[in-house]
Structure formats: C-alpha cells, structure tokens
C-alpha cells in the first residue's frame, strides 16, 4: 500500500487527529464536501438538491464494526427514521439506502444482522424504495452474500455489492447476473491480502472490465460505482455492445467526487446515483476518501493549518 495512504488510514484511528479535524473550522468545509451532515435533516436537504438536479441517491448512515447490540439497534432506528422522512418528503422514488451489515450486528451474530437488515428492507418496501447491502472486508464476503440471498427471498430487489479487487468476484458476478438482480460493482476499499485480492491496480481494472462484461451480458441491473474516467468510457462502450439502453444499468459515484462528471453523464441521458453518507461517525469515512487521493489530502492538510 502507498505510504501516504497507510499514514492517513493510521490517522483515522488516532483520537488526537480526530479531535483536531472535528474542531478546526476550515476542516469543516472539507468534511462538508464529502459528508452530507450529521443529521437526517441535513441528509434530506442534500438529497433534495441532488434529486432536483436529475440524480438518484443512495443514503448511507455512517457507522460500521458495531460490537454492541444497543448501537446496532440505534443504527436500525436511524434508518427507519430516515426512510419515513424520505417517504414524507416525496423523495423515496429516487433515493434508496445503503446498509453495512457490520453496523447492524454482523460481527456479533449473523442472525442478528439478518433480522435487522430485514426490518430495514420491510420499511423500505413500505416507503417505496430499495436497499443495497454494502460490501466490507473479505472476511465478511460469504456472510454478506448469505444474508443477501436470505433477504432476497422476500425482497428480490435488494442490491448486492461486489469488489473487482477480489479474485473470486468474476464468479460472484456470474452467479448474481440473473433477472432483476441489482449488483453494484466497485473496485474495493479495504486493505486486503494478496492471496484473495489483486494488489496491482492494473489487474484490478482488468478484472473490473471482466466483471462488467459478465453483468452487462446477464439479465440483471448492474450499478457501476467508479470515478475512473477510463472505466466509465469502457462501460459506456460495453453497454452499447450488449444493447443495453440507458436506464437498464446505472453509474454510481460518491458525494463530492467528480460532481461535474455526474452531471455530464446525467445530462447525456444516463442513470446516475450519488452515494451520500451522513451521520456523526463521519471521521473514518472521510479518512478513507482522503487516503484514496493525494490531491484531496494535500488540500485537507493545508486547510487544517489554515493555508487553504
């Protein structure tokens, strides 16, 4: 892993750095670029702006790796409240939610995570929207796919996430490319051992294209989550090749990253969904985004010392 990336991810676990970031006034602007806010109200405000601009949204209530039943329950309640708000505001048609199973109890007990995810899916159905189960590190992949299979028995529209950096993912894409299957394909965001994941970025990109072909040639609904300009152009070419109409697949990007490209794709008639995180636990998420891109980090560090 790049040394700067390692350093930033380490800072993500450091309490002193966390306090500095949370209190430095200019840093708040940087946080606001990537995170919608700490409350459901703030998330709804950002969502409305994006939806009014012709984009769809997936909202993520930040938090992960819960080892406390009460916290897992609090996360479920936050999603239920959010879904109610989206419905009341008339936003549910264009806004789904993304859920990390580790935030609803997966590390404690897979059954608890399944029950909690089911409660969120049932509420999403009532509100007229959908849920995607985020994918986390490779030690959770089998468990997450088991929970996915189980919730899809009642709610077949539940979205899966597959990570192109994992060597297993092409097989998973083929298995999940059937009719109606919503699958988000991303590169993958965790530090994984070479035994299970491609270490070389070029290998990851090649596997992304192989997986995209598998999804586009199937009968499901692929969701291509990437900011990579080369991959975006390969996907649009492959979609034409497979006679995919815009709207039979979608592009997904993170809130605050390449907003002009999100606009350009939507203006050209493509379906584009923006992944919008919110909640009090924004710090770890922010550090992962900064670790991905040195230019963001330089800007962020300058803002912390007041020169940006």
Instruction: Give the residue numbers marked as catalytic.
Output: 134, 184
* Beta-sheet strands, E only, within 196-297: 221-225, 250-254, 272-278
Of these, 129, 252, 297, 303, which contacts ligand FAD (CB under 6 A)? 252
CB of 88 to ligand FAD, least distance (A): 25
Instruction: Candidates 18-26, 66-74, 173-181, 248-256: pick the segment binding ligand FAD (CB under 6 A).
Output: 248-256
Smallest gap from residue 121 Cβ to ligand FAD (A): 17
Closest CA to 226 of 204, 247, 242: 204
Give the shortest CB-165-to-ligand FAD separation in angstroms: 8
Give the whole-angstrom CA distance, residue 10 versus residue 223: 31
Based on the shown chain and the rule CB under 6 A, indicate whether residue 130 belongs to the binding site for ligand FAD.
no
Does 226 show up as a binding residue in the annotation?
A: yes
288 annotated as belonging to a binding site for a ligand: yes
Coil, strand, or helix at residue 11? Answer: helix
187 binds ligand FAD (CB under 6 A): yes
* Site stretch for ligand FAD (CB under 6 A), options 4-12, 47-55, 120-128, 290-298: 290-298
Instruction: Report the nearest approach of ligand FAD to the CB of residue 63 (Å).
Output: 14
Residue 197 β-bridge partners: 166
* Residues forming beta bridges with residue 166, ordered by sequence position: 197
Determine, following the binding rule CB under 6 A, whether residue 225 of this chain makes contact with ligand FAD.
yes
Identify the residue among 31, 97, 254, 291 touching ligand FAD (CB under 6 A): 254
Q: Is residue 138 a contact point for ligand FAD (CB under 6 A)?
A: no
| 59 forms part of the interface with ligand FAD (CB under 6 A) | no
95 marked as part of a ligand binding site: no
| Cα–Cα nearest to 157, from 183, 181, 133 | 181
Q: Which value, in Å, is the radius of gyration of the alpha carbons in the chain?
A: 19
Report if residue 63 touches ligand FAD, rule: CB under 6 A: no
Residue 59 CA neighbour count, 13 Å, CB half: 36
Question: Binder to ligand FAD among 95, 140, 177, 226 (CB under 6 A)?
Answer: 226
Considering only 161, 176, 212, 214, the residue that binds ligand FAD (CB under 6 A) is 161
Q: Which of these ranges, 19-27, 46-54, 82-90, 254-262, lies near ligand FAD under the rule CB under 6 A?
A: 254-262
The CA distance from 223 to 250, in Å, is 5
Q: Which of 144, 207, 219, 209 is nearest to 178 (CA)?
A: 219
Q: What's the closest the beta carbon of residue 153 comes to ligand FAD, in angstroms?
A: 22
8 near ligand FAD (CB under 6 A): no
CA dist 102 and 263 (Å) reads: 32
Write b or e for each residue in 257-285: b if 16 or more Cβ atoms lie within 10 A of its Cβ, otherwise e: bbbeebeebbeeebbbbbbbbbbebbbeb
Among the residue ranges 1-9, 47-55, 180-188, 213-221, the one whose residues contact ligand FAD (CB under 6 A): 180-188
Kindly state the greatest CA–CA separation across the chain. Answer: 54
Q: For residue 150, state whether it binds ligand FAD (rule: CB under 6 A).
A: no
Q: What are phi and psi of 190, to 5 degrees?
A: -105, 160
From residue 119, give the alpha-carbon distance in Å to each of 47, 100, 180: 23, 14, 21
153 known ligand binder = no
Binding-site sequence positions:
100, 135, 163, 187-189, 226-227, 288-289
Contacts with ligand FAD by CB under 6 A lie at: 134-135, 161, 163, 186-190, 225-229, 252-254, 257-258, 275, 292-293, 296
């Amino acid at each position: 892993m790049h040394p700067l990336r390692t350093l930033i991810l380490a800072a993500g676990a450091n309490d002193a750095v966390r306090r500095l970031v949370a209190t430095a006034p200019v840093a708040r602007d940087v946080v606001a670029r990537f995170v919608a806010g700490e409350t459901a109200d703030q998330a709804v405000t950002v969502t409305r702006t994006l939806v009014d601009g012709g984009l769809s949204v997936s909202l993520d209530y930040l938090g992960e790796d819960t080892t406390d039943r009460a916290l897992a329950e609090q996360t479920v309640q936050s999603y239920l409240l959010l879904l109610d708000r989206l419905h009341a505001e008339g936003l549910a048609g264009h806004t789904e939610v993304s859920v990390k199973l580790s935030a609803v109890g997966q590390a404690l007990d897979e059954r608890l995570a399944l029950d909690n995810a089911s409660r969120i899916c049932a509420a999403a159905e009532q509100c007229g929207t959908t849920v995607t189960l985020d994918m986390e590190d490779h030690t959770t992949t089998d468990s997450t796919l088991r929970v996915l299979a189980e919730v899809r028995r009642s709610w077949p529209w539940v979205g899966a996430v597959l990570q192109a950096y994992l060597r297993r993912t092409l097989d998973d894409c083929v298995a999940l490319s059937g009719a109606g299957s919503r699958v988000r394909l991303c590169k993958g965001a965790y530090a994984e051992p070479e035994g299970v994941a491609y270490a070389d970025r070029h290998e990851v990109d090649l596997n992304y294209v192989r997986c995209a072909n598998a999804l586009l040639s199937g009968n499901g609904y692929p969701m291509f989550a990437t900011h990579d300009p080369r991959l975006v152009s390969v996907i649009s070419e492959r979609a034409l090749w497979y006679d995919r109409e815009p709207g039979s697949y979608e592009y997904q990007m993170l809130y605050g990253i390449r907003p002009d490209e999100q606009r350009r794709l939507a203006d050209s008639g493509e379906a584009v969904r923006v992944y919008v995180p919110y909640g009090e636990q924004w710090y770890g998420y922010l550090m992962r985004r900064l670790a991905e891109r040195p230019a963001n980090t330089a800007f962020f560090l300058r803002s912390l010392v007041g020169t940006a």
